[in-house]
Amino acid sequence: MRKQVVIIGGGPAGLLLACKLLRNGIDFVLIEQRTKEYVLSRIRAGVLESGTVNQLVEVGVGDRLKAEGQTHDGVYISTSDGFFHVNFKKLVNKTITVYGQTEITRDMYDALESWGANLIFEAKGVDLIDFTSDSPKVFYQKDGVTHEIQSDLIIGCDGFHGISKSKLSDDSDNGFSAQLPIGWLGILSETPPLKDELVYSRSDRGFALASMRSQCLSRYYIQVALSDLPENWSDEAFWHELKHRFPAGLVENLVMGPSIEKSIAPLRAYVSKSMSRGRLLLCGDAAHIVPPTGAKGLNLAASDVHYAFEAITGFFRDNDQTGLENYSTKALLRVWKSMRFSWWMTQMFHTIPDRNPFEEKIMASELSHLQDSIAMQKVFSENYTGLPY
């Protein structure tokens, strides 16, 4: 098989890039090691920056997003003393949209299949070679047969544990990373949300977040030890702990119900030293992992795709490799700015084991300053709603 572009990974980054390539007449194939059903079963984030929303609409997969997505003008932030509102719309004239990643993924699969895109599922043993040459190759196995794809470019969108990341990192060049000893225990419940917008909470008992997927589907998180397990938490225990991490004035209207999904996500950070080598470009989790506090994971994947698509179109349309050569530098500038914001939010809202009392006071002061300073709220709003591409 011969293709201009091979996309490895059928998550949001790979799918968004596939939509862009198809709409612009660039020949590609997308290979995914799992089934489509498995990809759609993964519960992930759902807070979208305006830049992400615009890209989805531009490629023709935004109809359901526009009809069912919830536009939020800001977020609520609570402390032991009460809560306050940061109004993005008023401060920076931007908003966010709440729409589940699973729904985004489903919309893009539906569109790509209706457009006749070349999607290959259950591709096993994926490997890639010669990506520093002019003719990179991808190999995979399906139904016991080994297949070879010759291409001009390979785009690795196959996540942190994928083959693409491993090709760009080795023992001496494995990126920048940090791991916190805490995680988020999250549940999904068929209950109305706590408030009309997200609520972030810092308390002496630890962090909590009240989020939502719709007006009848809520997502709640509490900070737990990284060594904890979901099965250690009954629904009753979770709701009891959640209620104690918000001010009384907020939780008096909390609607509790049985969980339909429960999991723990680690709080970790990783940024690759480079997001490209030769004819191989990385997008999304293959290149970086951000703590979920700033809602940047999916949105960074979308901005990577924006820059990768610029490089790809310049290469094929103008026979210009400048975009490929500059892709990593350009994408990493935005990645590190978003990482800074996510790490700052994480440190400010969480109680970190073994952090000394001085540092705890500094983080509490950061939150107090955010409450009192319009200038600080504006910076917060600029970052939360999404920096420009």
| Residue among 12, 136, 193, 292 flagged as catalytic | 292
**Identified catalytic residue from 3, 20, 72, 350:** 72
Q: Which residue has the tokens 């862009």?
A: 20
Is residue 128 within 8 A of residue 154, CB to CB? The reply is yes
Residues 6 or more apart whose Cβ sits within 8 Å of residue 361: none
CA distance 53 to 40: 19
Kindly name the residue from 3, 165, 288, 296 that is annotated as catalytic: 296
Catalytic residue check, 12: no
202 Cβ partners below 8 Å, 6+ apart?
Answer: 77, 78, 79, 80, 348, 349, 350, 351, 364, 367
> Which of 99, 109, 220, 384 is labelled catalytic?
384
User: Is 3 part of the annotated catalytic residue set?
Assistant: no
Question: How buried is 357 (Cβ within 10 angstroms: 0-12 exposed, 13-18 middle, 19+ buried)?
Answer: exposed
Cα angle for residues 267, 270, 274 (degrees, 5° grid): 165
Locus of tokens 């759902």: 46
Number of H helices, E strands in the chain: 13, 19
Taking a C-beta distance cutoff of 8 angstroms, is the pair 239, 256 a contact? Answer: yes
Question: Which residues have a Cβ under 8 Å from the Cβ of 293 and sit 6 or more positions away?
Answer: 200, 207, 267, 342, 345, 346, 349, 350
First to last CA, the chain: 34
- Contact between 215 and 192 (Cβ < 8 Å): yes
Which entry of 200, 270, 307, 327 is annotated as an active-site residue? Answer: 200
Nearest Cα to 279, choosing from 169, 173, 128, 161?
128
Tokens of 36: 């489509």
d(CA 74, CA 57): 22
Q: What is the DSSP letter of 173?
A: B
CA distance 105 to 36: 10
Instruction: Give catalytic status of residue 140 as yes or no.
Output: no
Q: Torsion-angle region of residue 25: left (phi > 0), alpha (psi -120 to 50) or beta?
A: left
**296 is a catalytic site residue:** yes
**Is 72 a residue of the active site?**
yes
**Which residue numbers are catalytic?**
72, 200, 292, 296, 384
